[in-house]
Amino acid sequence: MHRMKSFPYSHPWRETSINRVRREVKKELESIGDRAALREHITRRIIDLQDAPGSLAQQMRFVYTFYALSYERRQPLFDRDTVRKFEQVLLALLQTQQIPQKGANLSFLWRDVHLLLSHLAWSRGEVWRSVCQQQTAFQVTGQLATENRDLQNLSSGVRAFRMGQTTPALKYLEKAEFGELSVNNRFRACMQRIRLLRLGGEVSEAKRLLVELQGRPDLDLQKRNELAWETELFSVRENGDLTNLITLVRRRKSHNSPSYVLDAFLWSRGVSDRKWLARFKSASELGGRIQKEKKKYRVLLMATNTLKELYDFEIPFFIRIQSLESVLTNLRKLPSIEKELLVLSAVARWLARGRKYVYASLILGEYEGLSLRLSQGTQRDALGIVGDLLGACWYLPEDFARVAA
């Protein structure tokens, strides 16, 4: 049982008092190891402080609520309704305390709150809400410092990439990479550029940047693993062989983590060679690890589980094909446009194998449209794995099909 902390100071909302409360609350929450206990403790503190008198109590309520949503962003703790209520509490507290949005010492609180709401929306796949909150964050405080401007470029580039907006994505990611950001953020900007160029058909330029990045001396193990994975994706694009990719995600191998295993599973369902269906039946290589993070990967897990069940012949075909609805309606909630392309390719592949050509054409058409969007009209196959489907007689217009035949 965690005793509720009392703070021995009380004065109006000032930057020094807010920062002091933040330090105390952070230390308090970090001492709670159990997630269920953490959720209960934060919720109880926010409720107890709701009607408490005095400026300090409301500062504490603000900080507890802010940390609640910060934890939610990294590892979901609360249900959707509770999260929405907490979001409203943060904005309401800033308004009732009459914190100015510009020109005051505490104006940064508005920026921090809107950035947090942007990150939360992004984690839920609400891309446009994330964009709007992000832009609000960078507007409310007026003139941006150089580092904040570069962070805005990075965030804008990442969001433009997710929406398939190649021109602004490349522009802002390049600005971020060569700006005054941390090593980690500059690496992230460069990796995003490489992926965008690969998906957009600029393979040679993407490879050049990848080799250049691999030569940097300041790469830790996590960054080297990310580069190794990207290198294998170029190989898959060229020859469709998943051998090395799947070897990397086996138990006790370098890439045996949820994000990489789920990614490899999607690739195994999108390529044309059926042998990968048997050699990589599910994401079971993770064992129980995925259960600890299932809320974080909720939409992606729903997609991979459905794709696995599509090949389960003990399930009636009507139920299998009906299960695609939830996957397709949640495509934009996937964490990246590449994941969206992978799911579309896997679904189109399964439908084509089952000779459901009308349905397959609609799915493949969406895949082709995203590919053309990313490549600005030059490439129909962003992943390089569905060329056989795009050239199939059942997909091509009749005049082209007759010529192909």
pLDDT in tens, 100-142: 888 788 888 998 999 999 999 988 888 889 989 988 887 776 5
**Whether residue 189 has pLDDT greater than 90:** yes
Return the pLDDT at 169.
Answer: 97
Q: What would the 3-class secondary structure string for the chain be?
A: CCCCCCCCCCCCCCHHHHHHHHHHHHHHHHCCCCHHHHHHHHHHHHHHCCCCCCHHHHHHHHHHHHHHHHHHHHCCCCCHHHHHHHHHHHHHHHHHCCCCCCCCCCCHHHHHHHHHHHHHHHHCCCHHHHHHHHHHHHHHCCCCCHHHHHHHHHHHHHHHHHCCCHHHHHHHHHHHHCCCCCHHHHHHHHHHHHHHHHHCCCHHHHHHHHHHHHCCCCCCHHHHHHHHHHHHHHHHHHHCCCHHHHHHCCCCCCCCCHHHHHHHHHHHHHCCCCHHHHHCCCCHHHCCHHHHCCCCCHHHHHHHHHHHHCCCCCCCHHHHHHCHHHHHHCHHHCCCHHHHHHHHHHHHHHHHHCCCHHHHHHHHHHHHHHHHHHCCCCCCCCCCCCHHHHCCCCCCCHHHHHHHC
In whole angstroms, what separates CA 25 from the centre of its chain? Answer: 28
CA distances from 189 to 112, 178, 233, 398 (A): 22, 9, 18, 43
CA nearest 87: which of 138, 51, 124? Answer: 124
Amino acid at 196: L
Distances (CA, A) of 225 to 256, 289, 330: 11, 19, 29
pLDDT in tens, 255-302: 988 889 999 999 999 999 999 988 776 665 555 466 566 667 888 889
Q: Which residue carries 């369902």 as its tokens?
A: 269
Question: What integer pLDDT is reported at residue 251 of this predicted model?
Answer: 80
The pLDDT score that the predictor gives to residue 258 is 86
How far is 196 from 230, CA to CA, in rounded Å? 12
Per-residue pLDDT band for 390 (boundaries 50, 70, 90) equals: very high
Q: Which amino acid is at 303?
A: A
Structure confidence at residue 149 as a pLDDT band (50, 70, 90): confident
Q: Are 304 and 294 in contact (CB under 8 A)?
A: no
Q: Rounded to two decimals, what is the model's pTM?
A: 0.82
401 pLDDT above the threshold of 80: no
Mean pLDDT of 374-391: 96
Cα–Cα distance for residue pair 33/36, rounded to 1 Å: 9
